[in-house]
Structure 1
């Protein structure tokens, strides 16, 4: 373990702390010996008075030297340039908070209002700024400030964005919206009008969570990674088969005879609208773990058509003979079977 050296690139208090740690490691316990050793390890370019007899006097002498002003002002400039980057974009919240607190300490910014200004300036996202602005008013310490910041970061990390990979869990049955490379019972790849226009289809059902339950959520009105809001038109595309999730109103579901839902190869102009099941007037950001409804919007169809699943099952005869939990679109009254929990799985690389 090498002894610390003071050359103006560390806060004097931190230098004394490191020196005490070193002396303790070397079993040097006499205060005057530690003080003498601390004075000896100050760089020769930093002049201090000869008659220093205490650590307080040493710290004051180091703070009175021009090198400390340069160090402190440098830390202030670094604070002004410090910017928060989310983990989603390759950042590290823990490293950011550590650097922020260290720079505030080294720049001797102890006023809470000034600390708030510095942290607010480092936050680049409107959502974080708005949320952080509201919550930071009640903080009384640096620890409170960091806690509020972390809570804002957590809320931001829950936002579903354009291009997000999501899973949709049916609330009543606990199963996930899924698709596989199979056709519905008695169906053929190009047996419907939609199949002719939009390519071969895959059936949709609910199952346990797995690769077949992964969907990308996309909005044509937003740039990539922009937040998706309630009431916004979106497309769902299956991650494995790269097919788009639609309602085929010309076909009946295999068990309950509602409208059939399928995945087709080609994109079409029709879309889904996300609604908040518990707050229908909500127009804010869609967030992971929200309970939502999915409303189908199709040109020239003026009906309230919702995505639903239930306990009804169907089989594909002469294949695997497994039971598949039916998923449908319907125009009946909204009910508990129309509830879905949206779960954020990840983000696209581009």
Structure 2
């Protein structure tokens, strides 16, 4: 290993520390004065050293007074200004980013915690989540270690967020089975549409859904969602009503005579596939929907028995239970909607399978 030379492209403090450590390991017979003289010979000839430098402290101060150090600091500060954090979902590396951020702060001698916060904030993606969470969590930070720890907390939580068009699975909490559908396997009663049921104890292709809403992130306060079955051709989870010769009503489930839940796509008022969700444990939750949240899913019956639109129609909740129904020679665990008292059978754990990656252009809209 060669002795590290100083040419203005490293911080003087770091270079002097490296030189002292290296020389102590290389030869214990050298005096501290010998170490100083060797260090002085390693300074680039473009950097002028005055006479009278008789300590490492004086050498350090001389190097910091040279124009090369001013350029070095300014260069690192400009790199800080242009630094961009790329989430790991988009191919970034948080560990390398933080290492680079800390190194640039050190090289630019940015030691004030408020300045460090500002540079870190400017590096973040243009996302309402990052902006909101950063200011909320960073408000009372007093050290760089606290700053980095809270930043890591934000990154971990961001990786669990359910974003628009992400792929999710919904596990029925009580029975441990996943909300599923199979292309062109249909009810033999009711609508005759593609059936919905709870089946596999692990996520499989039939239990994958693409979640859709009108913004990047779904909040608990005011977001309507649609659930598109991944393995079917443009079919969504929903309910359907029809006319039985006497009145209009929503079709009934095969076993318990509750509202039938099916998988289809019909572009008219008879079909409703717009769902609301709320956290089953936390009332008035103001947070974003994220993986492993336990939720209730609800849908509104917007058509009355006369066939008229009713914006104040009955709200019903998605439920499954151990009750089975048969189609041909196969049995399925029933999934229905109801307006009864909520309980454990109405709880669903939403699991993120694949987070959708939003482009910068989409985030700016």
TM range (shorter): 0.7 to 0.9
C-alpha contact 1:173 1:311 (8 A) present in aligned 2: yes
| Aligned equivalent of 1:263 | 263
Alignment match, 1:134:
136
Preserved CA contact (<8 Å) 1:104 1:115: yes
**Alignment partner of 1:237 is 2:237:** no
Aligned match of 1:292: 295
Deviation at 1:234, TM superposition (A): 1.3
**Counterpart for residue 192 of structure 1:** 191
Q: Where do 5+ consecutive residues of structure 2 fail to align?
A: 242-249, 305-312, 359-365
**Preserved contact between residue 167 and residue 215 of structure 1 (Cα < 8 Å):** yes
Structure 1: segments with no counterpart, 5+ residues: 196-200
Q: Give 3-state SS (helix, strand or coil) of 1:207's partner.
A: coil
Asked if the contact 2:162–2:217 (Cα under 8 Å) also holds between the matched residues in 1, the reply is yes
Contact 1:206 1:326 in 2 (8 A): no
Secondary structure in 1 matching 2:183: coil
**Would you say 1:304 and 2:315 are equivalent positions?**
yes
> Which residue in the other structure is 2:353 paired with?
345
Quote the Cα distance in structure 2 between the aligned partners of 1:50 and 1:241.
81
**Bigger mean CA deviation after superposition, 4-13 or 256-265:** 256-265
Match of 1:198 in 2: none
Moved more, 130-139 or 258-267: 258-267
Superposition TM-score, scaled by structure 1 size: 0.85
- Structure 1: distance between partners of 2:201 and 2:40: 68
The CA deviation at 1:182 is: 5.7
* Deviation for aligned residue 1:154: 2.1
**Kept in 2: contact 1:205–1:327 (CA 8 A):** yes
Superposed CA offset, 1:292-316 (max 9, x none): 1111235425111110011223344
Alignment partner, residue 207 of structure 2: 213
Matched length: 334
Query: When the two structures are superposed, what TM-score results if normalisation uses the length of structure 2?
Result: 0.82
Are the counterparts in 2 of residues 270 and 299 from structure 1 also a CA contact under 8 Å? no
Counterpart Cα distance in 2 of 1:184 and 1:241: 13
Secondary structure in structure 2 of the residue aligned to 1:138 = coil
Q: Could you tell me which of 216, 227, 238 is aligned with 2:217?
A: 227
Q: Corresponding residue for 2:363?
A: none
Contact 2:237 2:273 in 1 (8 A): no
Q: Which deviates more from structure 2 when the two are superposed, residues 241-250 or residues 336-345?
A: 241-250
